[in-house]
Amino acid sequence: MAFEISKLQVVCSLFSNTIGEDLYYAKQIKESIDAAIPENQNSKPEAFVSKAKELRKKIGSEIDLSNVVVIKAAREKKVYSMLDLRAQLLSAAKATCQFNSGLVILTGLKEAICPEGKRWSKRRKTEYQEAVDFARSFFQQRTRPSTKISLIIF
């Protein structure tokens, strides 16, 4: 369910000029993007974001999507650390700060903190919540008040 909400947030951010306030239209766009993704990649946030960006380019070819940054918290053969997350957030902030609005998508945070096969302990839940809070406050503190940065956590 949370994954579906995150997808809708991506659609609402990328297609805000197209959909306006119409969430039904946003849901239709989300479903069409989902249908375009191969079945074996349907659970990957990167595949959804990639297809959404492709569709956005088709709709408005003059639209620059350089203000959209995807951060992957879980990396192969690399242990999760807050320092690495901070470095990735800083890089995303630098990439989006030149625009009046931006979209930062943080993926794989749950998988980075609790790898497959492990269980969600109280410590891991706390660490996840702290990482989410850190990411939110990071962008609040490091962007101009007039800048609209959307942070979506998959």
Q: Which residue is it, tokens 């375009």?
A: 36
Which DSSP letter does residue 104 get? Answer: E
Query: What single string gives the DSSP state of each residue in 73-89?
Result: ---TT----HHHHHHHH
With H, G, I as helix, E, B as strand and everything else as coil, classify residue 140.
helix
Read off the pTM.
0.75
The tokens describing 95, both together, are 């990439």
Q: What are phi and psi of 33, to 5 degrees?
A: -70, -45
Give, for all 154 residues of the chain, the pLDDT tens digit.
567 888 888 888 888 777 888 888 888 888 888 888 888 877 778 888 888 888 888 776 555 677 788 888 866 656 778 888 898 899 888 888 888 888 888 888 888 888 888 899 999 999 999 999 999 999 888 888 888 888 888 7
Rounded CA-CA distance 12/21 in Å is: 9
Predicted pLDDT at 125 = 93
